[in-house]
Every structure is written in C-alpha cells, then in structure tokens.
Amino acid sequence: MSTLLAQPLRLPCGATLPNRLGKSAMTEGLADAQDRPTPALDTLYRTWSEGGTGLLLTGNVMIDKRYLERAGNVVLEDDRDLDLFKRWAAAGTVKGNHFWVQLSHPGRQCAKLINTQPLAPSDVQLKLLAWYAQPRPMTEADIQEVIQRFARSAALVKAAGFTGVQIHGAHGYLLSQFLNPLVNRRTDQWGGSLENRARLLRTVVREVRQVVGPDFPLAVKLNSSDFQKGGFSFEECVQVAQWLGEEGIDLLEISGGNYEQLSLLGMPAQEVRDSTRKREAYFIEYARRIKDAAKVPLMITGGFRSREVMEQALADGETDLIGLARPLCTHPDCAQQLLDQKLNALDDYEHRLVLGQGWLGNNSRSSSIRGLNALAQVGYYYWQIIRLARGLAPQTELGAWRALGRHMWNDFRLSRRRRGA
C-alpha cells in the first residue's frame, strides 16, 4: 500500500512537488571567502537530492554581503558568479526534486565578527550581548533598499535554474523583527499596528512575485509565535498568514522562536503543551487555524520523528508537507526509506547531547546551560553537514563537548578567513 508521504503536491502556481517530504533550511557555512557557492555545497545537495526528499531548501542565502547570519553564508546580490549558482542548482535537482533558495537578511542577528553596526527596525539590542552589537534603526531608504534586494536576488534565483524561492520571515531575522513589537518600536508606516509591522514582509512578497512571475513557486517561512511575552503572537500569525495567502504565495512553512527563545534550535517553548511535545511536531497544534486562514499549502517543520505521526498529520489535513532538518544530517537517505516504508522511526541523537551530564544537578534547567546544550546540538549537526559535504559518512558518535568546541572554532575560523579575503 502506498504511503501518504509519496503523494505528489500540486502548488497554486501549477508546479508539483514529487512527494510530501521537504528538507527545511539549515545554515551550512560552506561558502568560500568571497561568499560564493562551493563544490562542497554541490556535493551536499546532490547527496540530499539522491536521498529522495521532494523539496530541498537551502540554508540562509543572504541578499547583502554586508550583513550575514554567520560567516560561510552564500550571498546572492548580483550576477557575477551566476555560473556557480547554476552548478549548485543542477547538483541539487539530479533526482527530479524541487530545489528552492531561502533568501534572508539577518537584521540585528548579525554577529559582531561580521558587522559591528547591524540594521534593525529599532535600536533594540539582542540579549546575547557578547556576540551582537547595538543595531542602527533603519531609515526609509534602508527599507526600500532591502525590498529591492530581495526582489533582485529572487530574480537571480530563477535565472540560476533553481525551481523556487522562499522568503525567510521567521526565527528573529529582519522580516521577523519587523513583525515583533518587542523589537519594532517604530511609529511610522512600518511599525505600531500589526498591519504596519507586516507591511515589509507583504511588500517583499509582492515585489518578489512581480519579478519571478505567476508560475514560479514562492514560499514564506513564518513563526507561529515568537514564544516571548509581548512578542509576535499566534493570533497575529493567523492574520499574517491570511494576508500572505492573499498576496499569492504557494507554500507557507511554519516554525517558531528566535535567538532569544530557542525553539528554532529544538528547545520547545514553555507555552507549548506537553501533549504537543508527545506528538513530536512542535508546531502542529497551530497548523489547522493557520492553514484555514492562509488557504495555501502548509509545511510544518520541527520534531517529526516517526512515519506514523507524519502520515497522521497529512491524513488529518493539519499539514500538506512534512519538514525535516536534523534527521537528514545523520541519515541523508531517510526520505527515500520513509517513502519505501522501510523506516518507521528516525533516530534522535539530542537526548544524549547534554553537556556535563551527571554533575549539573538542579542547575541543568538554567537558561545558560540550556543555551550551551542547544549550541552543542547545533554544533553536532553542523559537523554532520560538513562531513556530508566532503562526501563522508556522518559521525554519529561525536560527543557534546567536542561538538560545541568544533562549532565555536569553525565559526571563528570562517569569520577570520572572510575578513582576510
């Protein structure tokens, strides 16, 4: 009997995804010192394409080389290196899957090692003070430039042969910052009411649609909530989802959290009920209302680990596409195994990636320790990505301390290399 995961998904623009499994964006850090795609990225995405996933999404591809999420980000702001992007697009579609570019601007989530004066809606500094500088409030000219950069980069995505584009409006990056009233304290047309705070995201979507045309898949990644008191709320998400549907997007991906609330790193927010966590998918309880509001196909990313839960979410109409990320780092062919019904559950390594296990005691729940544990997990999966990009098998036995050390050293090395380029 065929699995629901193997059913194709037709998008509003007319394009069809070959199955219901999507690789969500994960930052790779594999660009060269000039922020260009590398053969390592070709190898990585060819491996994932061969692994059977119907939709691949790149990690953050930045629209402005002055502002990066981290050193090692690919930047697409002009056509000088379009041949390298064409090569990357071809590698990531060898099995007939879709391969979309996620376009992003970090806003205030741009580390000091990259830029000591990042941009943001207002001058609200990220609480991780050691790593992030006080942002400069954006002028009207800055905002208009960002809009045009998103549109220009989207046109280049299409020219390079990628099969779609996603606008990153989640996880506390710039477009998400405009949505968040804790960060956006503006009193002009870009701040205040939700309609004003959503204006930048909607304008970007509108301009991108104009340049890519009606037949090219256009997606948005949106937080179901920022999981911060006074931040972007679920009720606001539902309204923004409706507006995005009216703007004519083809797919809405739902995630959550930001750098100050690490739901995006696999740390469930306190507001998410235990019953939801037991069902694996962190954001599934929000899906029905968002989907009804947006009236476009929905992709839910975060926590899916068993085929039974994935298929039930599809059967119940809670989501149209299952977003996977970390499982593809340790099992790059897990999508094909799920489709062939040879795999019922994905291995989950987070449970043993706990720093100082055995001596933390009651302090293990502190925010600082939880943050370090989250970074150790991030480092673990980044290392698997690096190995896949080298054509090597994953190293699943890597421990938490070693993963954390490698991650911190690698980011420092990439930043130093970029400054010296």
* Residue pLDDT, tens place only, 262-271: 444 444 444 4
- The residue behind tokens 């009606």 is 214
Average pLDDT (291-296) is: 94
pLDDT of residue 366: 56
pLDDT of residue 113: 87
DSSP state of 26: -
DSSP state of 92: T
- The residue behind tokens 């590698």 is 91
Residue 356, classed as helix, strand or coil, is coil
Window from 54-68, 214-228, 265-279, 362-376 with minimum mean pLDDT: 265-279
Q: Which residue has the higher pLDDT, 114 or 275?
A: 114
Residue 357, token pair as written in the block = 């296990």
Q: Where are the alpha helices (DSSP H) in 51-126?
A: 82-91
Identify which of 172, 65, 68 has the alpha carbon closest to the alpha carbon of residue 124: 172
Average pLDDT (85-107) is: 98
Average pLDDT (279-305) is: 83
Tell me which long-range contacts 235-239 makes (C-beta under 8 A, separation of at least 24).
Answer: 236/179, 236/194, 237/286, 237/290, 238/289, 238/290, 238/293, 239/194, 239/198, 239/293
Q: Which residue has the higher pLDDT, 112 or 63?
A: 63
DSSP state of 299: E
Name the β-bridge partners of 120: 137
Residue 43's Cα: distance from chain center in Å?
Answer: 20
pTM (2 d.p.): 0.91
pLDDT of residue 269: 43
pLDDT of residue 278: 40
> How would residue 95 be classed by pLDDT, with cut points 50, 70 and 90?
very high
Q: d(Cα 326, Cα 4) in Å, to the nearest integer?
A: 22
Query: Given a cut of 80, is residue 151 above it in pLDDT?
Result: yes
Average pLDDT (12-19) is: 98
pLDDT of residue 231: 85
pLDDT of residue 353: 54
> How would residue 398 be classed by pLDDT, with cut points 50, 70 and 90?
confident
pLDDT of residue 91: 98
Query: Given a cut of 70, is residue 322 above it in pLDDT?
Result: yes
Q: d(Cα 25, Cα 6) in Å, to the nearest integer?
A: 21
pLDDT of residue 243: 98
> What pLDDT digit, counting tens, does each position of 205-241 carry?
999 999 999 999 999 999 987 677 788 999 999 999 9
Q: Where are the alpha helices (DSSP H) in 34-93?
A: 39-50, 82-91
Identify which of 6, 11, 8 has the alpha carbon closest to the alpha carbon of residue 298: 11
> How would residue 369 be classed by pLDDT, with cut points 50, 70 and 90?
low
Window from 33-37, 44-48, 161-165, 263-267 with minimum mean pLDDT: 263-267
Window from 221-235, 277-291, 400-414 with minimum mean pLDDT: 277-291
pLDDT of residue 360: 38
pLDDT of residue 127: 78
Q: Which residue has the higher pLDDT, 385 or 130?
A: 385
